[in-house]
Chains A and B, each alone.
Chain A
Amino acid sequence: MNKCEIKNCERDTEDKFCTHHQMSWEAINSGFEEWQNALGTDLTWENYLIQLIEDDAVKTGDLAIDVAIFELEKVSDKKFD
């Protein structure tokens, strides 16, 4: 049994994320397609995540924000590497 990879979640899971964070991850993933459809394919994954986290007008759910932060950190780590 693993722990959910989201910081401070600590829930047991057999996958990468616990059930609720997995649901959020799926919503974020499918949401990206819809955002690109609405705003154009210029929108990058990183910009999309930043808007989900930081834009006050975007009322992203708390669990979805956890996953967006996790994904954004991954993007930053890759850049740093």
Chain B
Amino acid sequence: MEQYLIDVPKYVQSKPYTFGIAEKPSAAKRLAQTLDVKAKEFSIKVTKKGTVLHIVKGWLITKNKERIVILSALGHLFTLVQDGSGWQYPVYDFKWVPISQASNKLDQKFNNRIEATIEAIRQLANSAEKYLVLTDYDEEGEVIGALTLTQLVNNDALNQTRRLKFSSFAKKEINNAYDMARSKSTAGEINLGMYNRGLMRHYLDWLWGINLSRALMLSLKNYSGRYHTLSTGRVQGPTLSFVAKRQLEIDTYVPIPRFKIQIILKKYPDLAVNHKKGFIDQLNPAEKVYSSIKGKDGLIEEIVKNKRKISPPAPYNLSSLQSDAYRYHKITPSNTLRAAEALYLDAAISYPRTSSEQYPPDMDHLEILTKIGGRAGFKTIVKDIFTKNKKLVPKIGKKTDPAHPCIHPTDQLPTKLSGYNKKIYELIVHRYFATFGKDAVQESNRVNFTIDKEEFYLQGSRLVTKGWRAWSGVQGNTAKTELPKLKEGQTLAVSASELIKSFTQPAPQYNQSSLLKEMENNELGTKATRSEIIQSIINRKYMQGDPIHVTPIGMIVNEVLENYSPQVISVELSRELERMGDLVEQGINENSDSIFSLSDAIVQGILHLHRMLADLKSNEQQMGSLIDHGLRTQRKQELIIETCNVCNEGNLKIIRSQSTGKRFVGCTLYFDNQRCTNTFPLPQRGRLEKTKDKCKADGFPQLRVHGGKKPWLLCLNPECPIREEYLKNIENRKKESKKKAPALKKDGSEIKIKKTRLKGKPKKKPSVSKKDQLEIKIKKTKLKGKVRSNK
């Protein structure tokens, strides 16, 4: 047992007290200050073997004469690991451990913080009489709260635990949640169904992830002796398969020709004219149409007008917010969630991880609108809402969520707004405004006209009544397609006509927003985890870019699973597991009246997994061969930049010199009897990434160099003016920093900085400018000449 010294202020420890556990330090602070205006912050010094690990902050509050000590977790404090040793599969034994013990990837400072937080919670929670869970009210929040107590106190602790269930940090809501928790109502109890479902998800996801990922990695290791981090998972597998399938459709696509008659009207050259049939499939009939209309004018036969009412949109839930944030601002779903969570912690909006499209029944719209109306930019709209609505009855949608209402602004304005947070907050507020609006009315016009019996039409639309669109910010903007005033019988003079050959197109590639939608439609993952799963597939380098395309190794991993264990990427299995989660939450068995427990779910999950792993094990050789091939292709692709600008035959490739070990860019034809000796120098430090963009100054390819504080763009041409300027700027900055005025003491005297060199640290070499370094390198490389392909 490790020896910890936990220094808690005495006034905090005096009994009796209730121990409250929050999810994050910022949430603990807000909750404490909301429940008690006189909330007092205190510090706990946690020392281990004489060394201070970390100083943990906590809050002491008094609410209705109840003393509550609040500490916060740091998200999850515990994680699952293999119970036992060995790097093989299948692995079905697991246990919870502090995350500081599970991974050596976390930095020591963060590890110390986790360790100190756990020990501080252990000390204070074990002396408490009762417990209060103050985490976000969802599956993860329930797991963080309840698991921390069961791991650090005991299982009985949950019997003395009450729970604050809230959907925003608004003062009224937090206080109501506290009153509910202190009442005898079941609404103030911990949601054990949700907790069990959360545990089920953790267990199955861990089992899936560790076993399937090991199956992939070991197949490669046993085939080629190489190690490469590969992973797949319960939701990751099917998600990657959507993109891979679409990618394969695009990569094998053969476009088919089709024809279009393009007409330009003399008076209205910008209007798009369409033939009644749209595209014509064959050249002969298209030519006939074209020759019959060539040089002739059109005659308007009919103008058809239609009015259509467009109802206000439903309030946002997480997926519609993520979709709009991408559509209007190109903010990725994971960044949208991050921004929404920051706004929630700032008490400016309600809890964002929700699927509901409905406001809470007791929501005080008058108060919220009045408060928001105080903010510049919203004032006029709020005034307009009050003028046009005698009663404030907003539009709601059909979707519900058992734990939370829709995403809506609260009566507290955000403290600071910038960047993504500002854009997301504005989207939410404008959507909230829009739900109070009347229907918008849109008139669509279709002008049918003929040119020598061939039928064409113009299509346009205009907003007759703006309605809710006037209050909905960017969401209210519509494309301008209004037609000019035209009359039936009027002649439309044609200035030019052309027969255009075009080609069919493959289905579009996914972007992050459309992929999220696809996951939602297929009930893959949860509203809270979808964007994180997409991000983790991108981080694993299985997908990249926007729109998303699958990398060679991503395609191979998908192919391996598709060929040798299709259940892993099966949407149906993932859905079945979700249904099992529903049963665990409700405690019902579909086939009998008995309870469907968490262990039943784990057993069923393991049975599925066991079959999949057996399939993979029996095909290990083929899997290893495919993965090895995919990795080789990916490596090649990463190294090749583009066609050589000198010989136009070979490819420019990142090469490492065999003799000097230095890297540079050279033409692949060098290896073919030195047919091309084109080379470019490269910086020797930092990770290099290919970019599509060419240098604006000289059109040479560019590489993004990751190293130092910010990644920077490097033009391959050593004489590029932008590159020279960049290097000059660095030199100037260095010179300026040397010239900087000396620091002064309070009395005005100069602070003398003693320059010392650490023992054993070598003296710096005389400085050579980066440009000079590059020139030296290229000279050396050319002189030595020995290069090898970096396979």
B54 to chain A, nearest CB (A): 52
Q: Which of A40-79 contact B (CB under 8 A)?
A: 40, 52, 57-64
- In the assembled complex, the CB of A23 is this many whole angstroms from the nearest CB of chain B, namely 5
Chain A proximity mask over B17-37: 1 for CB below 8 Å, otherwise 0: 000000000000000000000
Mark interface residues in A14-32 (1 if CB within 8 Å of B CB, else 0). 0000011001100110110
Closest A residue to B283 by CB, please name it. Answer: A39
**Quick one: given A10-B629, A23-B248, A59-B506, are A40 and B254 in contact (CB under 8 Å)?**
no
CA–CA, A23 and B505, complex, Å: 17
Q: How far is the CB of A53 from chain B (nearest CB, A)?
A: 11
Q: Which of A11, A39, A61 is within 8 Å of B506, CB to CB?
A: A61
Once bound together, how far apart are the Cα atoms of A12 and B619, in whole Å? 14
Binding site of B, secondary structure by majority: helix, strand, loop or mixed? mixed
**Do B252 and A64 have beta carbons less than 8 Å apart?**
yes
Query: Looking at chain A, what size class is its interface with the partner chain?
Result: 20 to 34
Quick one: which of B458-505 are within 8 Å of A by CB?
A: 501-503, 505
Q: Given the known inter-chain contacts A20-B248, A61-B506, please indicate yes or no for A28 contacting B625, CB distance below 8 A.
A: no
- B256 to chain A: closest residue by CB: A34
Do A23 and B629 touch across chains, with their CB atoms under 8 A apart? no
A10 CB contacts on chain B under 8 angstroms: 629
What total of A-B pairs shows CB separation below 8 Å? 67
- Is B257 in contact with A20, judged by CB distance below 8 angstroms? no
Q: In the complex, A12→B283 CA distance in Å?
A: 42
Q: Which residues of B contact A52 (CB under 8 A)?
A: 254
Please tell me which one of the listed residues B254, B259, B629 contacts residue A28 in the complex, with CB atoms under 8 A apart: B254
Is the pair B251, A39 in contact by a Cβ cutoff of 8 Å?
no
Q: Is B328 an interface residue (CB 8 A)?
A: no
Distance in angstroms from B43 CB to nearest chain A CB is 60
- B708 at the A/B interface (Cβ < 8 Å)? no
Min CB gap B16→A, angstroms: 69
Binary A-proximity of B234-267 (CB < 8 A = 1, otherwise 0): 0000000000000010111111111100000000
Q: Is B384 an interface residue (CB 8 A)?
A: no
Complex formed: what's the CA distance from A29 to B608 in Å?
A: 40
**B282 contacts the other chain (Cβ, under 8 Å)?**
yes
Which B282-296 residues have C-beta < 8 A from chain A?
282-284
With contact pairs A38-B282, A38-B283, A39-B283 given, residues A57 and B503 touching in the complex (Cβ less than 8 Å): yes
| Residues of chain B with a CB closer than 8 A to A63's CB | 248, 251-252
Of B252, B255, B505, most A-chain CB atoms within 10 Å:
B252
* A31 partner residues in chain B, CB cutoff 8 A: 254-256
Beta-carbon contacts of B143-157 to A below 8 Å, as 1s and 0s?
Answer: 000000000000000
CA A59 to CA B283, docked complex, whole Å: 20
> Considering only CB atoms, which chain B residue lies closest to A63 in the complex?
B251
B576 contacts chain A at the CB level, 8 A cutoff: no
**A40 and B734 alpha carbons, distance in the complex (Å):** 69
Complex Cα spacing A74 to B243, Å:
33
With A37-B282, A58-B503 as known contacts, state yes or no: A12 contacts B254, CB within 8 Å: no
**Which among B251, B257, B506 is the interface contact of A38 at CB below 8 angstroms?**
B257
Q: Considering the chains assembled together, what is the distance between the CA atoms of A10 and B502 in angstroms?
A: 35
Taking A38-B281, A59-B503 as contacts, is the C-beta distance between A64 and B256 under 8 angstroms? no
Cβ contacts B280-319/A at 8 Å (1 or 0 each):
0111100000000000000000000000000000000000
Q: Which one of A12, A19, A64 lies within 8 Å of B251 (CB-CB)?
A: A64
Complex: A24 Cα to B283 Cα, angstroms = 25
Q: How far is the CA of A23 from the CA of B506 in the complex (A)?
A: 15
Shortest Cβ distance from residue A64 to the other chain B in the assembled complex, whole angstroms? 5
Report if A35-B256 is in contact (Cβ < 8 Å); known contacts: A11-B629, A59-B505: yes
- Among the listed A34, A37, A39, A61, which residue makes an inter-chain contact with B250, where contact means beta carbons less than 8 Å apart? A61
Alpha-carbon gap, A61 to B622, bound state (A):
27
Contacting residues, chain B, for A34 (C-beta < 8 A): 256
Contacts of A59 in B (CB 8 A): 253, 255, 503, 505-506
> CA separation between A63 and B626, bound complex, in Å?
17
Chain A contacts for B259, CB-based, 8 A = 38
Closest CB-CB distance, A61 to chain B, in whole Å? 4
CA distance A59 to B252 in the complex (A): 11
B residues adjacent to A (C-beta < 8 A): 248, 250-259, 281-284, 501-503, 505-506, 559, 622, 625-626, 629
Write 22 A-B pairs (CB below 8 A) sorted by A numbering.
Answer: A11-B629, A12-B622, A20-B248, A23-B248, A24-B251, A30-B254, A35-B256, A35-B257, A37-B282, A38-B258, A38-B259, A40-B283, A58-B255, A59-B505, A59-B506, A61-B251, A61-B252, A61-B253, A61-B254, A61-B506, A62-B251, A63-B248
Additional 11 contacts, C-beta under 8 A, given A31-B256, A57-B502: A19-B559, A20-B248, A34-B256, A39-B257, A57-B503, A58-B255, A58-B503, A59-B253, A59-B503, A60-B255, A63-B251
Closest 8 CB pairs of A and B: A31-B254, A61-B253, A61-B251, A63-B251, A24-B252, A27-B254, A38-B257, A34-B256
